[in-house]
Amino acid sequence: MKIATSGTERRTQIVSAWSFDVFDTFLLRACATPDGVFERTYELSGISRSCPNVSTSFVQHRIQAEARARRTAKEKRGVGEVHIDEIYSYFPFRLFGLARGDLTDLVESEFAAEIELCRANPDMLWQYQDMKRAGHRVGFISDTYWDADRLARLLRACHPGLSWDFLYASCDHGSSKSESLFATYLSEQSIDASASFHVGDNEKADIRAAKRHGIRPRYYPQATAQLAARFQRETALFELLCTGAPSRLDHGARTLRRMVVARSAERSPAFHLGVTVLGPVMKAFDAFVARRCEEVAGPGRKVALGFLGRDGFLPHRIWQQLHGMTSAYVEINRRVSLIASADTMQPIIDLLGKILKIDAPTFRDMMKILPPKVTAFFAKSPDGIVTGLEIAEALPGLMGADEIGELAAGLRARLLSHLRHVIPGFDDCTDLVLADLGYSGSVQKALRRIFKLEGLDIRLHGAYLISLDDAFDDVAEEDSATGFISDLVVTPHVKRMLIRNIALLEQVCCSADGSVRDYDGGTVLREINPRPTSQITLAADIQAGTLAFAECAEQVAVDFRLSPYAAPDVAARWCAATLARLLLLPDEDELALLGELKHDVNLGTHALAPMIDGDYIRRQITARGLSAACTTSAPPMWLAGCFARLSASHSYLYTLFGANRLPADVFEDRPCGQVQVGLFRGNGEATLETVTLHRNGLGELRVRIPVSRAMGIATIVLPLPKFAAEGLLHGVTIQSAADVRDAAESQSVVGIAAESLVFAGIERNGDHYRAQSEDGCLLIPVAPMTEDIAIYSVAITPLGAHPK
C-alpha cells in the first residue's frame, strides 16, 4: 500500500541525479557505423554460410524491418517505440532461407553481436563512478529496442559489477526521450530536474529533449560535423573501392580514431589533419612494417630495418616513437641508387628518359662528370636545354661504358659507406627490410644489383605502404616485396589512380631536407631544398598531429579493448579508404590547407610543380571531354584536387573513372545538333562553316571549331542564341598541332582570357550570359598560329530550353 506524503515531506525526498545515454555515449561499438551490429549478426547467425556475400542486403533488410515496425506501431498505438522481436517480425525470412521460427535465433544473434562489439567508454565510466561517489543517483536512459533486462545484461557484460539506481529503455515505456520518457523518469524517481544532468550524444534526443524537461544536458558528440562528413566519404569510398568486403566491421579502427580525437588538444588545422587522417594511415602502416619484420625474422637471421628517405621520414619517426631506436633512416633515392647500380648504360638511360628537361649543369650535378661530347650535345640545343628523352637516346654515342663503370663504382662505394654508418652491424645482417611509401621497388632492385656487384649476401625485403604489384615479378628470387595496400586490397585501376595523386602524401611525409645527391664518408650531401618555408612548416605541423595520434592510439586501444590491426586485410582496406578519401575526395578545408603545396620534381632538378592548377581541369574538360581529362598526365601533381576545386561532384566523377565505374556513354560527348559559325579573315571576308554541337552527361554543350593557318582567320563568330540563348560560359580553349587529330588529342590546352571575348547583343555577368536578341553572338579572336591547325572549343551549360 502506497502512503501519500505531504508536499514538505516529498520535497525532502527530491534529489539530483546524473543520467547517461547508453549507446554511443556510455557504450561504444567497435565497428565503423552502428549498423555494423547488423553485419556481425549476419555472420553470427550462420546466414553468411548459407547465403554468402549478401551482407549488405541483410543489413538493409534489417534496417527496413525496423522502419516498418516503427511505422506500424505509430499507426496502431500512436507511438513509434518497438521491441526487437517486433522488428524481426517484419524481416524477410524466406529470402535468407529461414523460417518464422528462426526469429528468436536472429534476436539472440543480434544481442550476441552487441555484446561482442560494445565497449564501456572509460571516459564516461570515470564520470559515472565519480558522480556515484559524490552521492548523486546515477543511471541510464536509452532510446532502444532492447528491453531493460537485456540492456542490463549488456551493460554488465561490458563492465562486470556495474550498478545503477535507475535504468529506462524506451521500448518498455512506449515513449522516447524526445517524447515523454524524461518526464516518466523524473516523476518515478522523484528527481529534481533543475539539479540534475543528462549526458548523451544525440542533439535532439539527449540535449534538446533534456532541456525541454529542465534537465541540464552535457553534450558528448561522437565526432565533429567535419569529421563525420569525412567518415561518410570514407565509407562510400570503401564500398566503391573494396567491393565485396564487409564495410562496417573494422575491428574498432574508426572508434579508435574518434576517441583519439576526443582526447587530443585542439591545435591548428594542419595538426588536426594529422590526428584525424594521416595518423590512422601511418599507424596502420607501422603495424604492417612490424609484422613484416617478424615474418622475415627466424633462426640464424639478423634483421635490420631501414626507412628510405625522404618519403620514409615520417614513418621512421613513428617507428622511433613506438619502438625505440630499432631502425635506421636510410637516405637513398631512385636517382642515386640507379647510378650506383649501373654496370651498363641502360639504368642511366632509363633515369634520364624520365626527366622532362635538363641542361649541362644539371647533368653534371647528377652524374658527377661532364664529358666534352655531352657538353657539345647540350650546346647545340636552344638555351642549352634538352628533353630527358633526347639526352637518353644520344647518351650511348656521348659516353663510354668505362666512364659509366667508373662513375657507378665511386658512387657505389660512398653509398655503402652511408649504409654502414646508419645501420649498426650492417655487414653482419642477413636480411634488410626496406620500408617506404612505395611503389615499384626501384630502389630495392637497384640495391640488389649493388649488393651483387659488391659481393654482399644480404636479402632485401620491401615493405611498402602502396605497391604496383606487377612490378615485383622481377624482384630477385632471394628477396621479397610486399605492399600493405596491394592489388589484393584494391584493383590495379584504383591503385594507379591513387599513385597518380600520391605526390600530396609524399610532400606531407618527407623530411625538411633536400634530396640526397651524394655522400662524403658518413655525411649525406643533399640538393638544395626548393620548397617554400611555409610548406615545410605546414608539413611539420601535419607530422606533429600524426605522431600525436600514433602515441595516443596505443593507450586508447588498450582502454577500449580495440585491435584494429589484428586482421591485416581488414586494416589494409580501411587504410586504403582513409587514404583514398584524402587524396580523391578532399573537403573544402583540406583544399584550402593543401592546395598551394608544391612538389619538387627531385630528379636532379630544382623545379617545383604545382599540386593544383585552378583552371587546368576546366580547360581540359572543355577541350577534350571528361574522360580524357581524367587521364591527364602530371603536372599538376594532385589531379583529384584539381577536380575537387571545380566541385565535389567532379572529384567523385574522377574517382568513379579511376575505379572503372564511369560509363563513357553516360558522360562523354554525344552529337545533339549542328550550328553554323562565321569565320572572318583579316581582310573582312567571311565564310560560314557548319560544326557539330555536342552534349555531355553533365548537361554541358560543347562546340569545337577547327581552323587552319592557311585560312588566315582573324575572328570566329558563334551565334549563341541559335543553341543556348542563356547559359553559363565555362571558357574558350585552343589546342594546336600539325593536324586535326593531334590537335584534338593534345593535352596542351590554352585558355582564352575572358576579357578578350566580345559579346555582341548579349548581356553578360561573370560566367552568366543572356542573349538580348536572336542576332546576338560571341566573337572569339583567333591568336597568331604557330602550328598548322588550331581547334577552338567552347563549353556552355545552357539555362534555357535544350537545342532541338
User: Which triple of cell numbers denotes residue 773?
Assistant: 536578341
Cα(786)–Cα(765) distance, rounded to whole angstroms?
33
| C-beta of residue 279 within 8 angstroms of C-beta of residue 317 | no
Cα(474)–Cα(227) distance, rounded to whole angstroms?
42
Beta strands in 542-627 (DSSP E): 598-600, 608-610
Dump pLDDT digits (tens) for 79-134. Answer: 999 999 999 999 999 999 999 999 999 999 999 999 999 999 999 999 999 999 99
Q: Looking at the predicted structure, is the pLDDT value of residue 804 above 50?
A: no
8-state DSSP, 276: I
Per-residue pLDDT, 15: 63
Q: Looking at the predicted structure, is the pLDDT value of residue 389 above 60?
A: yes
Model confidence at 403, pLDDT cuts 50, 70, 90, reads: confident
Per-residue pLDDT, 801: 62
Dump pLDDT digits (tens) for 284-331. Answer: 999 999 999 999 999 999 999 999 989 999 999 999 999 999 999 999
Lowest mean pLDDT among 267-281, 336-350, 735-749: 336-350
Can you give the pTM of this predicted structure? 0.91
Q: Looking at the predicted structure, is the pLDDT value of residue 160 above 90?
A: yes
Model confidence at 663, pLDDT cuts 50, 70, 90, reads: confident
Model confidence at 2, pLDDT cuts 50, 70, 90, reads: very low
The strand pairing partners of 218, in sequence order, are: 199
Residues in the chain: 804
Cα(468)–Cα(484) distance, rounded to whole angstroms?
11
Q: What integer best gives the mean pLDDT of the chain?
A: 92
The strand pairing partners of 289, in sequence order, are: none
| C-beta of residue 668 within 8 angstroms of C-beta of residue 696 | yes
Per-residue pLDDT, 361: 82
Q: Looking at the predicted structure, is the pLDDT value of residue 600 above 90?
A: no
Residue 707, CA atoms < 13 Å, CB-side half-sphere:
27
Cα(793)–Cα(696) distance, rounded to whole angstroms?
14
Lowest mean pLDDT among 163-177, 637-651, 656-670: 656-670
Per-residue pLDDT, 198: 97
Instruction: Report residue 599 CA to chain centroid gap.
Output: 18
Query: Which helix or strand (DSSP H or E) is residue 679 part of?
Result: strand 670-681
Q: Looking at the predicted structure, is the pLDDT value of residue 787 above 50?
A: yes
Which tops the pLDDT comparison, 297 or 347?
297
Model confidence at 3, pLDDT cuts 50, 70, 90, reads: very low
Q: Looking at the predicted structure, is the pLDDT value of residue 4 above 50?
A: no
Per-residue pLDDT, 9: 42
Cα(488)–Cα(483) distance, rounded to whole angstroms?
10
Per-residue pLDDT, 802: 52
Dump pLDDT digits (tens) for 555-573. Answer: 999 999 999 999 999 999 9
Task: List the one residue out of 717, 705, 722 whose CA is nearest residue 771.
Answer: 722
Task: List the one residue out of 773, 774, 770, 764 whose CA is nearest residue 800.
Answer: 770
The strand pairing partners of 460, in sequence order, are: 432
| C-beta of residue 274 within 8 angstroms of C-beta of residue 552 | no
Q: Average of pLDDT values for 142-163?
A: 97
Q: Looking at the predicted structure, is the pLDDT value of residue 5 above 60?
A: no
Q: Looking at the predicted structure, is the pLDDT value of residue 280 above 60?
A: yes
Dump pLDDT digits (tens) for 714-771. Answer: 999 999 999 999 999 999 999 999 999 999 999 999 999 999 999 999 999 999 999 9
Per-residue pLDDT, 606: 65
Residue 731: strand, helix, or coil: strand
Model confidence at 664, pLDDT cuts 50, 70, 90, reads: confident
| C-beta of residue 201 within 8 angstroms of C-beta of residue 220 | yes
